[in-house]
Structure 1
Amino acid sequence: MLAPFLILFVMFYIVPVLSSIALSFTYYNMLQPPRWIGLANYRVLFLEDDIFLIALKNTFAFAIVTGPLSYFLSFFFAWVINNLRFSNAFALAFYAPSITSSVALAVVWTYIFSADRYGLINKVLIDYGMIDRPIIWLANPNYMLYVVMFVSLWMSMGAGFLVFLAGLRNVPADLYEAGDIDGIRNKFQQMWLITLPMMKPQLLFGAVMAIVASFAVFDIAVALTGMPSANYAAHTIVAHLYDYAFIRFELGYASAISVVLFLLTFTLGRISMRIFSSKDE
């Protein structure tokens, strides 16, 4: 009964990962057979590719800010919505941006952050006298990464948010009643002493999803700031991977980038499993 899942998992996950690892040690341009070059791709990646180092710095900055924030906000809003009437309607409103096309959302946010005085952000700032000339949000290297972070946080109420909401609804009500009898005085104590310990599987899933999403940022960054962005200020690891894989067709080098990204997300995922795994498991 496990065979269908295992076969598909091996075909579409294990085999591609192993193939990428093998190709990362070769020079492969799709026109010629792969040629073994050892660690040359990794040496170039970390010692000679300045753009990759910029992408690595941008991705880490993005992940450090949006990863924990999106994780906390997903749980917080799920907890608040779970205590409201018409919670399903609120959940749909929060979840909708995460399933909307990045290109469609980019059209909306490009208008909001438009560089002229008719852009909504610039108009508000000018009307209140906070600035005297429009700010070029999506082309100024000083601002564009922060704009991408903001929009990504707005889109972050995805699968993790739904899992948190489902976990909150599955906590047995009699535990809360027992907690009230034992002296729990408010909702925050209830959440800390009862809800969080009962939601460790959901918290683990949400942490892994937040890590993967924060390191895999690409679509919205490219849609808002272009490919490549000015001075590579919003260039990410996935954008660098896309550049070498689908524009330059240097698949061996692109595979080395993908292996580095895989190791980063895998390591952080294992750390999350250590943090959220139950001691009795």
Structure 2
Amino acid sequence: MKTLTSTNQKVEREKKVKVSFKEAWSLHKEKYLLIAPFAIIFVIFNLVPVAVAMGLSFTSFNMLEAPDFIGLANYIQLLAYDDVFLIAVKNTLLLAIITGPISYLMCFLFAWLINELPPKPRAILTLIFYAPSISGNVYMIWKLIFSSDMYGFANAWLIKMGIIDSPILWFETAEYILPILILVQLWLSLGVSFLAFIAGLQTVDKSLYEAGAVDGIKNRWQELWYVTLPSMKPQLMFGAVMQITNSLSISAISIELVGFPSIDYAGHTILTHLHDFGNVRFEMGYASAIATVLFLIMLIANILVQKLLRKVGD
């Protein structure tokens, strides 16, 4: 195990060796030319809008008049006086803290188990588990399950078992809204990260398992920690970024299931708050401030998670 760890550390050190741009260009110019179209599109449609939004966050802008610079007024209003935003932050962090780690572990666990199967069953189960994340009518299913009348499946089952006497108003009762959103988000969580983990498991060098056995690895858990996880760190990083982004940007689920705005803002998130000021009120300066705060939260969360993942296998 020490040999494997030292080998992984040596590879990491070799990756960190710096080369000049000229040397890198001469060695990899064909690759740079191939990714140039995507890089240009990424800069124009991702980086530039982010920079513009950050600039607009310091202005008052209603899309009809020119932006008026107001300094930190939007941020002061947002953080000190906007009570609904504070509710949205609390709901968003609760959703992220609960669904983020659980969905990440679910993605890896199911990918690890499915990867042990023969090719055909693996392909079928991958499709079954991935299907909910791309289903177009997913909200109709959960609306039917938690329908507020006696025809909803949840109410029908509870009444049949004698637990309740009358239907529960699931989407109209504040205390039930957040647990339902967590449940639906977890059900939808086996998406791109799940596929990335399966791909990563497929690319692990099988000879490393033989070397691990010679080096003293005695069971599957040690094999997982010292061989499998260090070998698929890029996929683990990608999956972490995707799960953090998904858990902090919950909006469509809340709007579709519990309405907009939800009862007592129980399902209100930062992204639905952004939707309110950006797409309903057209207060683009204030909406840009909300987007900037959400971006900073995502950035900090990603940095912390990546630091933790670098310790995998040590």
Query: Given that residues 126 and 132 in structure 1 are in contact (C-alpha distance below 8 angstroms), is that contact kept between their aligned partners in structure 2?
Result: yes
Whole-angstrom distance in 2 between the partners of 1:98 and 1:119: 23
Alpha-carbon distance, 1:63 to partner: 0.3
Letter in 2 for 1:26: T
Aligned mates of 1:131, 1:197 — CA distance in 2: 50
Displacement of 1:46 in angstroms is: 0.8
1:181 Cα deviation from its structure 2 partner: 4.2
- 2:88 counterpart residue number: 55
Q: Paired residue for 2:100?
A: 67
Please tell me whether residue 99 in structure 1 is matched to residue 101 in structure 2: no
1 CA distance for matches of 2:221 and 2:123?
22
Q: Percent identity?
A: 49
Counterpart CA distance in 2 for 1:124 and 1:155 is 23
Mean Cα deviation higher: 64-73 or 80-89: 80-89
1:158-237 superposed matches below 5 A: 158-237=191-270
**1:153 is the counterpart of 2:192:** no
Distance 1:161 1:238 in 2: 24
Matches of 2:42 and 2:306 in 1, distance apart?
A: 21
- Which of 1 and 2 has greater Rg? 2
Residues 246-281 of structure 1: CA deviation (Å, up to 9, x unaligned): 1000000000000000001011112222222479xx
Task: Say yes or no: does 1:119 pair with 2:175.
Answer: no
The whole-number CA distance in structure 1 between the counterparts of 2:198 and 2:237 is 14
Q: Report the alpha carbon displacement of residue 130 of structure 1 after superposing the two structures with TM.
A: 2.3
Query: 2:9: which partner in 1?
Result: none
1:23-76, Cα deviation, whole Å (9 max, x unpaired)? 000000011110011100001101111110110110000000000011000000
Query: What is the distance in 1 between the residues matched to 2:274 and 2:48?
Result: 19
Counterpart of 1:5 (choices 22, 38, 59) is 38
Whole-Å separation in 2 of the counterparts to 1:32 and 1:206: 42
Q: TM-score, length-normalised on structure 1? A: 0.94
Instruction: Indicate how the Cα distance of structure 1 residues 16 and 153 shifts in structure 2: closer, same or farther if over 3 A, else same.
Output: same
The answer for the alignment partner of 2:67 in structure 1 is 34
Equivalent position of 1:248 in the other structure? 281
Please, what is the CA RMSD of the aligned residues? 1.5
TM superposition score normalised by structure 2: 0.85
Aligned structure 1 segments of 4 or more residues deviating by more than 4 angstroms: none
Report how many residues are paired: 277
Q: Distance in 2 between matches of 1:123 and 1:132?
A: 10
| One-letter code aligned to 2:221 | F
239-248 vs 192-201, greater mean Cα deviation: 192-201
Q: Structure 1 residue 176: deviation in Å?
A: 2.0
Deviation at 1:189, TM superposition (A): 2.7
Give the Cα–Cα distance (whole angstroms) in 2 for the partners of residues 185 and 125 of structure 1. Answer: 48
Deviation of 1:121 (Å): 1.4
Q: Give the structure 1 partner of residue 304 of structure 2.
A: 271
| Equivalent pair of 1:200/1:278 in contact (CA under 8 Å) | no
In the alignment, the residues of structure 2 paired with residue 127 and residue 189 of structure 1 have an alpha-carbon distance, to the nearest angstrom, of 47
Aligned residue identity for 2:36: A
- Are the equivalent residues in 2 in contact too, given 1:201–1:276 (CA < 8 A)? no
Query: Could you tell me which residue of structure 1 aligns to residue 21 of structure 2?
Result: none
Q: Which moved more, 1:7-16 or 1:63-72?
A: 7-16
1:3: Cα distance to partner? 3.3
